[in-house]
């Protein structure tokens, strides 16, 4: 995990765009894990940690790309529709937007918290608008670890969104985190695999309410 500063490169944003247009699932390493609610989830097992990286592709109907990107970035609104949030806020540090995110875990497990830099770019590729949001674990002196909460030091996410040509959004998401503690890796993988389509569906539903709010 690196201290905040410097943000993301142009290549990282363009890699997410490329995945949206042409999925990169080389060889037999990436395994199709789940297809549900219009979403396909692929997993790649990390032999050292026993945890999976995930790539998610799909379409969210009746959710316009700019609204979906705004909903994802609107932390105050997310507190209203994401029931697993214990605490969520952002601050500026060395020119970067740094997010603190604490997630509720069921008893007897400790909550997990994340500190990460996040950047959004709205790109125009040959007249086609693509929203890209990148996030990665970092550390800042203002956000110390808390007693009774496990800090997640390995977290990375990419999200790319474009129009599906109708009234919905075509999406690509890359996701990895290591929640640490004594949770078995098989349980972490099982929960992550099932929670991603639910989260995307909840976010699509939140888009409808967001449009009415604004």
Which residues, 6+ apart, have CB-to-CB distance to 11 below 8 Å?
none
Establish how many alpha carbons lie within 13 A of residue 139's alpha carbon, considering only the half-sphere containing its beta carbon.
10
pLDDT digits (tens, 9 = 90+) for 140-163: 999 999 999 999 999 999 999 999
What's the pLDDT score for residue 21?
Answer: 82
In the predicted model, is pLDDT for residue 197 greater than 50?
yes
In the predicted model, is pLDDT for residue 170 greater than 50?
yes
Establish how many alpha carbons lie within 13 A of residue 144's alpha carbon, considering only the half-sphere containing its beta carbon.
2
Model-wide pTM > 0.85: yes
Nearest alpha carbon to residue 136 among 110, 118, 120, 163: 118
The DSSP H or E segment spanning 43 is: strand 39-45
Q: Which range is least confidently modeled, 74-78, 147-151, 175-179?
A: 175-179
Task: Give the residue-averaged pLDDT of 117-132.
Answer: 90
The DSSP H or E segment spanning 107 is: none
What's the pLDDT score for residue 158?
Answer: 95
What's the pLDDT score for residue 41?
Answer: 87
Task: Give the residue-averaged pLDDT of 12-35.
Answer: 83
Rg for the chain, CA atoms, rounded: 17
The mean predicted confidence, pLDDT, of the chain is: 85
In the predicted model, is pLDDT for residue 2 greater than 60?
no
Task: Give the residue-averaged pLDDT of 74-103.
Answer: 93
Residue 186's pLDDT band, with cuts at 50, 70 and 90, is very low
Instruction: List own/partner pairs for 5-11 with CB under 8 A and 24 or more apart.
Output: 5/93, 5/94, 5/95, 5/96, 6/96, 7/95, 7/96, 7/117, 7/119, 8/117, 8/119, 8/134, 8/136
């Amino acid at each position: 995990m690196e201290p905040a500063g410097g943000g993301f490169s142009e290549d990282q944003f363009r890699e997410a765009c490329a995945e949206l247009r042409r999925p990169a699932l080389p060889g037999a390493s990436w395994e199709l894990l789940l297809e549900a609610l219009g979403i396909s989830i692929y997993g790649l097992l990390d032999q050292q940690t026993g945890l999976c990286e995930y790539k998610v592709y799909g379409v969210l109907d009746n959710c316009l790309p700019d609204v979906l990107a705004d909903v994802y970035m609107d932390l105050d609104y997310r507190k209203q529709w994401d029931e697993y949030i214990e605490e969520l806020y952002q601050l500026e540090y060395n020119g970067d937007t740094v997010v603190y995110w604490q997630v509720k875990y069921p008893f007897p497990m400790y909550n997990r918290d994340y500190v990460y830099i996040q950047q959004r770019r709205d790109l125009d590729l040959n007249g086609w608008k693509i929203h890209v949001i990148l996030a990665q674990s970092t550390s800042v002196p203002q956000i110390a670890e808390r007693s009774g909460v496990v800090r997640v030091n390995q977290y990375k996410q990419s999200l790319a969104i474009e129009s599906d040509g109708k009234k919905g959004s075509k999406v690509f998401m890359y996701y990895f985190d290591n929640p640490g503690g004594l949770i078995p890796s098989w349980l972490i993988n099982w929960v992550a695999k099932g929670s991603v389509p639910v989260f995307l569906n909840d976010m699509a539903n939140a888009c409808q309410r967001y449009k009415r709010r604004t």
